[in-house]
Amino acid sequence: MNKSINGLKNSLEAKSIERYLHPYTNPEMVAENGPQIIESGDGIRVTDIDGKTYIEGMSGLWCASLGFNEPALIEAAVGQMKELPFYHSFTGKISKPTIRLAEKLIDISPNNLQKVFFCNSGSEANDTAIKLVWYYQASKGQPQKRKIISRKGSYHGVTLAAASLTALSYAQVGFSLPLDFALHTTWPHYFQNSHQDERQEDFSKRLASDLEKLINEEGPENIGAFIAEPLMGAGGVILPPKEYFNLIQPILDKYEILMIADEVICGFGRTGSMWGSETFNIKPDIITCAKGLSSAYIPISAVLMSKDIAEEVEKQANNLGQFGHGYTYSGHPVAAAVALKTLEIMEDRGVIDHVKGMEDLFLERVSGLREFSCIGDVRGVGLIGAAEFVKPNSEREKLNPKHKFSAKVVKAIQENGVILRALPIDAIAFCPPLVIEEKELTEMFDRIHDVMPEMDKYSKALD
């Protein structure tokens, strides 16, 4: 935009800078350039207040899976607002759509999960999962089993507990985090972390060994759960080797450590299956989900739990007099109605089959970016992928972070009509709405591809 703050006086941009604390934003940069105000959306595109339209190549924040103007979701929200705009689920009360959504989620859940608890965001869902682990372990007479293992490079949210499991510096530095219950083991980023000539199978074995070593160092009697995204989204769209979870899961079972699958990004078709756990053969005791649950049209998230956990939690609640956890908007009827309609649309329109049908073209176009010397690795599954930058013509040596190369690539691509996101490992992510059509996907990658020769040339001039 390059609008100086002086030129924005009395505008919406100026009011935003003056009154709104922008999340995940450099305040100095937004003050200098002004915010970009998005005014409308239609299908896979959004339009800003200057009238420029963009393909939203990130589905917003990995979330608007059905696009930006789905009439059926709007109608579901309006209809429920007219019938019952709000009610809580405290003290045994509940609304009809909340019950129906809980039933639907259990019907489609993997690994025979049995009960659902509703929250409002992925961060809240992961905080709730942490509390459920502690509550469960305490009920079993093991209150010391409260440490939770995450992975380096992972993202699980930014509330106090969830941010402690998130292993990205921007979510912790300055906030006196992580809290002491959080542990972090090796992340499965084969491209960057594998040894010379190390096969994926051997890499996976080494990571499984690292996990078991950490468990034994900390004492398995002190560890309540292991949390993992099926693929690591905000940390770089890191796909685990196919052997990885097959080796991790038996270790967790051996030491009676619960498996939490963070499906906030992966759930609801993103990886070509309903759940990322199905794509990567994970057997979770707990699933957390959000984003695609309502196609992001309204805030809602959920925690799905096994029969064993549900029974133990309810036993503990009975002993203590109540289950002392919940949110005012847990199971909000409007959010539940929109989420139900989202799942109905996915089934009726065969959205997951559509993702599978688009996957080959998507992966072909992602792979095609290998032709540029500044791209060291490309990866993807379903309709989510990434391209990771390196020094031109090197195997995996990274560019100097002072250049903020991925951010500059994203800016150039946006100027050419596609919104993407720079990732902290100097990569760019691709995560278009699941309803994107072949012509639209081709246009999206053509626009990206058009920008890359100049960016490739620029990368060669950097130190």
Q: pLDDT (tens digit, 9 = 90+) per residue, 139-197?
A: 999 999 999 999 999 999 999 999 999 999 999 999 999 999 999 999 999 999 999 99
The model's pLDDT over 117-139, given as tens digits with 9 standing for 90+, comes to 999 999 999 999 999 999 999 99
Where residue 1 falls among pLDDT bands split at 50, 70, 90?
very low
Tell me how far apart the alpha carbons of residues 434 and 60 are, in angstroms, rounded to a whole number. Answer: 12
Tell me how far apart the alpha carbons of residues 103 and 430 are, in angstroms, rounded to a whole number. Answer: 32
How high is the pLDDT of residue 8? 53
High-pLDDT (> 70) share of the chain, %:
98
Tell me how far apart the alpha carbons of residues 381 and 35 are, in angstroms, rounded to a whole number. Answer: 32
* Closest to 450 in 3D by CA, of 420, 411, 421, 412: 412
How high is the pLDDT of residue 111? 85
The model's pLDDT over 281-292, given as tens digits with 9 standing for 90+, comes to 999 999 999 999
The model's pLDDT over 386-436, given as tens digits with 9 standing for 90+, comes to 999 999 989 999 999 999 999 999 999 999 999 999 999 999 999 999 999
What rounded mean pLDDT belongs to the chain? 96
Tell me how far apart the alpha carbons of residues 52 and 36 are, in angstroms, rounded to a whole number. Answer: 11
How high is the pLDDT of residue 327? 97
Tell me how far apart the alpha carbons of residues 287 and 424 are, in angstroms, rounded to a whole number. Answer: 25
pLDDT of 21 over the 60 cut: yes
| Structural domains present in the chain | 36-69+351-460 (3.90.1150.10), 72-348 (3.40.640.10)
Reduced to 3 states, what is the DSSP secondary structure of residue 384? strand
The model's pLDDT over 186-196, given as tens digits with 9 standing for 90+, comes to 999 999 999 99
**pTM for this entry:** 0.95
pLDDT, greater one: 29 or 10: 29
| Phi/psi of residue 374, nearest 5 degrees | -85, 0
Tell me how far apart the alpha carbons of residues 445 and 57 are, in angstroms, rounded to a whole number. Answer: 9
* Mean pLDDT of the 56-71 span: 98
The owner of tokens 């468990």 is 215
How high is the pLDDT of residue 48? 96
Cβ contact 149:226 at 8 Å = yes
The model's pLDDT over 233-257, given as tens digits with 9 standing for 90+, comes to 999 999 999 999 999 999 999 999 9
Tell me how far apart the alpha carbons of residues 428 and 134 are, in angstroms, rounded to a whole number. Answer: 36
Where residue 10 falls among pLDDT bands split at 50, 70, 90?
low
The model's pLDDT over 318-358, given as tens digits with 9 standing for 90+, comes to 999 999 999 999 999 999 999 999 999 999 999 999 999 99
